[in-house]
Chain A
Amino acid sequence: MFYREAGQFKTSYDADQAVFPILQDRVVIYAFAFIAVFVVPFIINDYWANAILLQFLVYALAAIGLNILTGYCGQVSLGTGGFMAVGAYASYKFVTSFPELNYIVVVLLSGGVTATVGVLFGLPSLRIKGFYLAVATLAAQFFLIWLFNKVGWFFNYSPTGMIVSPPREIFGFQITGPEATPAARYLFCLGFVGVFALAAKNIVRGRIGRNWMAIRDMDIAAELIGIRPLQTKLMAFAVSSFYIGVAGALYFGVWLGSAEPTEAFDINQSFLVLFMIIIGGLGSIVGSFMGAAFMVLVPILLKNIMVDGFDFAVGVAKHVEVTLLGALIIFFLIVEPHGLARLWQILKEKLRRWPFPY
């Protein structure tokens, strides 16, 4: 009743091929964007920024990146944590070596560096497939973390081995360092996520995205109809790593402010992002956001309920949280293996026909 596109006629190709062709979708998205840009920055405080919003934005970006590789191109990767580390360390090196460089440029450059590394580790994907590839990408994860731990050049020989983000300004607002306001950091991340999500949506529904999907569905058949597997797969690795690298740079620079490789970028990060895209929906940009929201919010929610609501000891609550999270993941996989994005789609179908069941 409320969600019905009857009567919305398209009179141009542009209108027909818009990202959100249905008016109601557009209204919802614009409302979301309006709230995110004009309302949230004024009510945001330190807790919300640090614990929830920045985390959500950074992981959403990483999830989009991994979804491009795994959801659209079908190459399972467990190296996300390692690639995020590349982005973070690249941004650190750029920031400290070229202090005048605009921070936006720094973030983009770190994405570029990560893309190069991603292509390098993507090369085996031409011969190795499926789970063999997934395990092979673990090589990237462990090797990169080891490298950042051992080679002093990457962390400027700081005695603790930590990297700390120095303060930088954009348009007169500080966005990194301890002085930065939550609103400025939030808006900076939001800008990146918004632009990159839009770009991803348009890449995956164009020629490149269709090539990726053909490779995902059956790479030999795709090769036979004239898609070059080498370029296509490496392209997916490059674009995906670029996104993950940007996410890593924001993760370290804007959200955490300081990082240490073994803790911040360990294998659990890779699993976390992989969970996001599986729970959210493989091959769906909206799903990446939903999955990131789910994996960020549910642990916080569980913790708050247990520690504040039922007075669990923090240690016990941690174990219970892990258990419940695992159970929830299994539950969601059983209920809807195609993820939250698919549930959303089903809901929209239902809304269309509401109040009639058929």
Chain B
Amino acid sequence: MNTGQIISGTAHIGLIAFAVFGGAFKSDPLPFEVTSVTAISADEYAALIDAPRAPEAVANVDTPEPPAEGQGLPELTSTSDAAPDLSQPEVTQTPPPDDVPEVVDPVPVPEAEVSDEPPVMQPPQEDIAALVPEVSPRPQPRPAPRVAPEAVAPPEPDVAIDEVERQETVPDAEAAENVEPETEATAPEESTTEIVTEAEQVDPASAAPSRSVRPKTRPAQPQPAEQTQPAEDTRTAARPQPDESAVNDALAEALGQAGGADQGAPSGPPLTAGEKDALRVSVQQCWNVGSLSSEALRTTVVVKVRMGEDAKPVSGSIELLSSSGGSDAAARQAYEAARRAIIRCGANGYDLPKDKYDHWRDIEMTFNPERMRIK
């Protein structure tokens, strides 16, 4: 260790020590307002709360009286009747003179009832809140014909079933210039998250949680249904996409690479995790494994698909790359189910960023049904 380092070290330590202990960071306290607070116990607080309520209750009691102005007498007679009724059985049961004060006690009871009402109102609210988690049974999946990652409540009876929820639109006379295509109201089909067997669905009393629910996947991103709105078309049309590809081509040419359309690594930023997720969620909504054999449900297939620039799968481009876990026949069923999923959910085009076409022109999708077997 040379002298320079020692000097440097000493100087630094000294500086830090000055900063910490020398008051360099201290400053005058900022002015602040002082409010005096009195600490009270929970009982006192309850008393405070009760105190203002008691008159309210009395006021409530008062309100019935005005309409019954002329009939105050029957009420009096009824209370006096109650007192003898109570006293008689007591006297016959236990003759000792101690009973007399007990007889007196019931008489003020009607008065106490008036003041008791507010406290009676409050505790139940707390009790109910505390009891709810214990009493309410575990939310049981309803039996539904469709099992999907997300449970969906039964749609309205007159609503068409579709992958996405859509409001009904009708031609608007006022906005005649901006005519929206007339669409039918749609809603996703009723679904449940797991198969509910009869042995599982009966007897809510024994519905104690036996296992925790699997964490859900991310919520679905907006679906390609937006394309039914003309606004989407104008927006996409406004994008300078042709220019960009031309620039890309020019760049590729300038760099001496083979034409960008068919070969070479795609340029530009890759798809974000969110964009990939949106595609994954779109495909899995149509991946129906319900009609697959048990063996096909053990088969993982890798499927290749070529996408058009309109984000629709190119027909005839879907091919099976590889499979694992099952026979050739099972792989064929699994592949056909995967193909149906890709074509069906891509019929209106997937929600993919058009400016990143080079990145999603060729897609390899692995369909792994392992988690679907457990359901």
A and B interact: no
